[in-house]
């Protein structure tokens, strides 16, 4: 088992580990072995992985070690242990989607993201536990993924294991998917950084769809700067974010969506959000109250889109595999088949109009700001079937519009020491400003906080 000092290496940034590799002060093999030791120590408590790829990862780590010994010019992710949600196709490796139906499914293709990580030389350590088909609740065969801040709480969903593993120091990044908040909600619950980039910035090729109109792919990391490094490697667009991270956000116009905060019942979330606003003001940002017509109810517009589109992808199993679905997942699919064509098309029209409304507001400000989730991690995964739809009220609007949105920790509650997320939303293809503001905030508040686990 790694010593306390060795464990701290697992919480360093991607850039810091890369520098240690280049100085030959630590090797990819050592870091990968430490990562698996950490995984074996914590996995029974967290339940963050469906598949662990130790043999493959260690073989790739040895290749990476040799490249650093030779002084080869390699990518920023070269030799860095990462994981990915078990929704990405991986040729020759089981891809379960957290379901019984696909428990033995081995694809014959690789997802774009998996290939991009391999080409960058990342060490892929495993595939993460997730809500069944990324659709609202965990399947009992796999069990809930627990939160490293309190293992009696959920890590959030649907990218559950991705958030829990990164927060706990099992890998330096993970790739998730986000249809209504499935990257940002677990990142908020676990106190890490989760980005839903602009729609289709990261290819969804080889990702089992939930809702084609709303699905996004993005990275989960402990720091904003690590997040940018990963996005550079997996994006279908060219990025280079390094020059952004000066900490200077003087003059940046931040539009605070007050209607999404004033309705929050949890006083600690409200307090941490108010403190975050004051911090941004101290950093020189210009805070403005903004109104976005219909944002409080847009979730109701998104619902028929998700329901109808999701059910389309399950038509081959719905009639014959009812008992193999989790109860809530099957109920959602049943609802989807009841959505009329008229309701679906009306929702798509409202989606277009709401997107135009958000665009208009973003002409007045550089980014938008609101809490990510109205409360800290809950005991179990909230689900639509249980009536807990407020969990995505602040995240799903930007799946509807496709704008980039990031969550970064605003601090922890005093009562239970659980993280609270702050969400920053930007204009289309302006991940630069989103990252710049999020990084300045994270740096000014002391950076990533390590859970007690």
Selected catalytic residue, list 27, 83, 99, 158: 158
d(CA 200, CA 216): 7
311 included as an active-site residue: no
Here the tokens at position 240 are 């280079």
**Dihedral of alpha carbons 216, 261, 348, 334, sign:** positive
The angle at the Cα of 404, spanning 400 to 406, to the nearest 5 degrees, equals 110
Selected catalytic residue, list 137, 182, 188, 213: 182
Nearest in space to 166 (alpha carbons), one of 187, 197, 140 = 187
Instruction: Report phi then psi at 258, rounded to 5.
Output: -65, -35
Say if residue 164 is exposed, middle or buried (CB neighbours under 10 Å; 0-12, 13-18, 19+): buried
What H or E segment, with its residue span, contains residue 394? none
Query: What spatial distance separates the first Cα and last Cα of the chain, rounded to whole Å?
Result: 15
281 included as an active-site residue: no
> Residues 188, 195: contact at Cβ < 8 Å?
no
d(CA 33, CA 19): 18
Instruction: Report phi then psi at 427, rounded to 5.
Output: -70, 165
Here the tokens at position 208 are 């089992």
188 included as an active-site residue: no
d(CA 31, CA 36): 9
201: helix, strand or coil: coil
Selected catalytic residue, list 76, 85, 127, 196: 85
> Residues 126, 51: contact at Cβ < 8 Å?
yes
Say if residue 443 is exposed, middle or buried (CB neighbours under 10 Å; 0-12, 13-18, 19+): middle
| Three-class SS of 322-359 | HHHCCHHHHHHHHHHCCCCHHHHHHHHHHHHHHHHHHH
Which residues are marked as active site? Answer: 85, 158, 182
């Amino acid at each position: 088992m790694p010593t306390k000092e060795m464990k701290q290496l697992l919480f360093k940034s991607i850039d810091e580990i890369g520098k240690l590799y280049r100085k030959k002060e630590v090797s990819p093999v050592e870091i990968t072995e430490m990562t698996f030791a950490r995984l074996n120590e914590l996995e029974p408590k967290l339940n963050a992985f469906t598949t662990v790829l130790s043999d493959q990862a260690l073989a790739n780590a040895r290749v990476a070690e040799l490249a650093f010994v030779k002084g080869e010019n390699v990518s920023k992710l070269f030799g860095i242990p990462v994981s990915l949600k078990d929704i990405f196709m991986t040729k020759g490796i089981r891809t379960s989607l957290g379901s019984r139906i696909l428990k033995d499914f081995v694809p014959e293709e690789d997802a774009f993201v998996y290939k991009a990580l391999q080409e960058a030389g990342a060490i892929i350590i495993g595939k993460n536990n997730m809500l069944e088909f990324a659709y609202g609740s965990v399947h009992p065969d796999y069990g809930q993924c627990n939160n490293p801040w309190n293992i009696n709480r959920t890590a959030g969903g649907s990218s559950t294991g991705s958030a829990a593993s990164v927060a706990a120091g099992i890998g330096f990044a993970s790739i998730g998917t986000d249809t209504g908040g499935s990257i940002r909600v677990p990142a908020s619950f676990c106190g890490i950084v989760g980005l839903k980039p602009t729609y289709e910035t990261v290819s969804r090729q080889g990702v089992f769809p939930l809702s084609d109109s709303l699905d996004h792919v993005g990275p989960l990391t402990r720091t904003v700067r690590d997040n940018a490094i990963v996005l550079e490697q997996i994006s279908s667009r060219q990025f280079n974010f390094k020059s952004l991270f000066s900490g200077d956000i003087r003059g940046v116009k931040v539009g605070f969506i007050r209607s999404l905060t004033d309705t929050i019942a949890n006083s600690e979330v409200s307090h941490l959000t108010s403190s975050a606003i004051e911090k941004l003001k101290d950093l020189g940002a210009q805070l403005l109250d903004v109104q976005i017509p219909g944002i409080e109810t847009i979730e109701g517009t998104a619902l028929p889109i998700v329901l109808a589109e999701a059910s389309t992808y399950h038509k081959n199993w719905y009639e014959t595999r009812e008992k193999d679905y989790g109860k809530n997942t099957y109920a959602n699919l049943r609802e989807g088949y009841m959505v009329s064509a008229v309701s679906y098309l009306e929702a798509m029209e409202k989606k277009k109009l709401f997107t135009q409304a958000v665009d208009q507001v973003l002409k007045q400000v550089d980014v938008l700001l609101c809490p990510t989730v109205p409360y800290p991690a809950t005991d179990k995964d909230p689900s639509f079937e249980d009536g807990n739809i407020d969990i995505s009220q602040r995240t799903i609007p930007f799946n509807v519009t496709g704008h980039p949105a990031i969550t970064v920790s605003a601090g922890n509650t005093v009562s239970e020491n659980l993280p609270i997320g702050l969400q920053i939303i930007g204009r289309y293809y302006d991940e630069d400003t989103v990252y710049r503001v999020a990084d300045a905030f994270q740096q000014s508040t002391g950076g990533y906080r390590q859970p007690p686990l």
